[in-house]
A and B are shown apart, each in its own frame.
Chain A
């Protein structure tokens, strides 16, 4: 029943000491997230940029905020090594991008056909 892989070799009971962030890191993450939310809002609501520029700002701030939350809130840089969760997440993102971009690319035939 019990897990006993080599990844547990370096001492037991260390789950206790996991330091899942501090008030400081949560607050910093929260503030950066707010800023990253406000930036694209300002750009979109005030029409500050061209269409392509706006799209770029929206996507870049969204991805930055994803990273901020992953590091400051979800603490993916902590935890036991090897970090299988990070590997799974990265592969997951690659496949999500494939699904979304692939679908758009493949389904673009429709605009030709219609």
Chain B
């Protein structure tokens, strides 16, 4: 009996690596600490009622934010481990298989479990406030999306200590990711982690399209909508069309592994390149999904901090919509070297380059907005200024990669690595950080400390260039991606060492941010409703910070683009908008079903990973049971009476 338990544990848990034992211990300690704190302060009920069952978009946004920052930490640690291994030739810090696992989880986590949730955090924190709505179209579904994301992320992360991490690259190309190449459970964790969170992403896409199209404040015509909301709309449209492709691609890989199908295997007539073709049909739109909201964030910030209307509003909208559609016509540039015909490569080279045009339009618009503006350089604007040159270089090297014949030289080299980090960090991460700095006071009611923010900004930025510029040259010198070590004779040592220094600088930048948040929680300046010096232009700045649960006591009547700016202008001229009558506010009730259902999804994923049929059945029954429970519940909403609204507003210093 004891022996069989021992055998099971030796298979089940990852063993034999001191790094992982360290992680085991720290995970156990942190879990115990959390349980202890919650019990000691009697916070279990609070956790359940205020967070686990909430359907409030603001709280869901905050939960996404916390989760994504944790994932940024984990992905960042992965990156630092890799850079340590590569700092000098012949380092024996990591073994080859461990290195494989680390670059795989780094990529997967950073794109799917860091960038995506950070994006959803911003969607949730901002969009309803910006369009004058009291919640999203489907608050219940919104909560479900979050919990599905979290359970998916947990499933992937648990592979670190249980069963073994995936190690076939962040997109897991077959045949390596097939049973023949990856017999372990890591690959199944990967499939189910992404599948489960992918359902959530698709639901969020649908949710926000409907929210934006149908729930805007009266008078807010589409062409009067703030640009961030436009960018969310374009990203969600792309999600709607792209994520089903990912679901199917991974499902087919799962069928190969679980039921012995032959989609992508080497035998049985399978075609592994079909996987590459399919996954990039999702993968390419995916990078636009994450970068489009960043474009929207910059548009808001540039206008606010230049104290000017955004230059070329219509061209901005047009550019984003063009990008979101064009993104579906460029996927082959990820595998020009496959050996497809010259016609195919030429076609996709041209479509790829065409995307540079709308992107260039946007850059010029931002620059023209700043031109002759009275710019104030606070954190959000700093990150925006950091973004523009960085993204420009990333875009230019992207066009270089788009030249199909030249790509045979760059393909899978560090040149490519440098390029996509430049657009993903320079574009996406800088964008989201700018957005978090910008909207933080709105959601939390206090500002983040500027001084520590500046240190964070400069270490991040300088670190970025120190880290990734050498990699372009390493790529041109012939260093390919995913090598875990190299010899002195290659002559790559100096550049690699520089790169590692840059990576650690970015790590220090992140620590500054942690310090900044910790410091500001205690000493941060209280934020007013219009938190950025009264320069806010859009509706979210017209309500208190943090907003009450119903956001708007009365639904605003919109007349202009940047309506809040015009309200303030009119007020200065002595023109007041008429006060509106308060009415009882219709709100959704909290529900435990999203959390419960997502937990059952976790069981399904875990069961499939370990081939435990009983667990799959329990999980699947739970999922369907939850669906039915929801379908049969008709008491899902409530009203906040007028008196209560008046009282809440009075406490926030506003009279009605």
Contact = CB atoms under 8 A, between A and B. Distances in A.
A108 interface: yes
Interface in A89-114: 91-92, 95, 98-99, 102-103, 105-110, 112-113
A95 B134 contact: no
Place the interface of chain B in its size category.
Answer: 35 or more
Given A1-B585, A6-B220, A113-B339, A103 B637 contact: no
A38 to B, nearest CB: 32
Interface string B344-361: 100000000000000000
B241 A106 contact: no
B277 A1 contact: no
B134 A99 contact: no
Contacts of B237: 88, 91
Interface in A56-109: 84, 88, 91-92, 95, 98-99, 102-103, 105-109
B219 to A, nearest CB: 7
Contacts of A2: 134, 215, 586
Given A6-B218, A6-B221, A1 B241 contact: no
A7 to B, nearest CB: 7
B328 A98 contact: yes
B245 A99 contact: yes
Contact of A1 (B218, B328, B587): B587
Contact of B241 (A8, A92, A105): A92
Contact of B325 (A91, A102, A112): A91
A91 B241 contact: yes
B341 A1 contact: no
B329 A106 contact: no
Interface string B216-240: 1111110000000000000001001
B303 to A, nearest CB: 23
Given A1-B134, A4-B216, A109 B339 contact: yes
B217 A4 contact: yes
Given A98-B328, A106-B332, A5 B220 contact: yes
B35 interface: no
A107 B277 contact: yes
B92 to A, nearest CB: 40
B216 A5 contact: yes
B137 interface: yes
Interface in B50-65: none
User: Looking at A1, A2, A9, which has the most chain B CB atoms within 10 Å of its CB?
Assistant: A1
Contacts of B587: 1
A5 B215 contact: yes
Contacts of A8: 214
Contact of B216 (A6, A95, A106): A6
Given A3-B214, A5-B214, A6-B218, A95 B241 contact: yes
Interface string B439-469: 0000000000000000000000000000000
Given A109-B340, A110-B273, A4 B135 contact: no
B34 to A, nearest CB: 33
User: Looking at B215, B217, B220, which has the most chain A CB atoms within 10 Å of its CB?
Assistant: B215
A95 to B, nearest CB: 5
Contact of B328 (A6, A95, A106, A113): A95
Contacts of A91: 237, 241, 325
B91 interface: no
Contacts of A7: 213-214
B193 to A, nearest CB: 25
Contacts of B328: 95, 98
B69 interface: no
Interface string A8-19: 110000000000
Contacts of B629: none
B508 interface: no
B340 A3 contact: no
Contacts of B338: 109
Contact of A4 (B325, B344, B555): B555
B218 A108 contact: no
B401 interface: no
B216 A84 contact: no
B245 A109 contact: no
B55 to A, nearest CB: 10
21 contacts: A1-B134, A1-B135, A1-B586, A1-B588, A2-B215, A4-B218, A4-B555, A5-B216, A5-B220, A6-B219, A6-B221, A84-B209, A84-B213, A95-B241, A98-B328, A102-B331, A106-B340, A107-B274, A107-B277, A109-B339, A110-B271
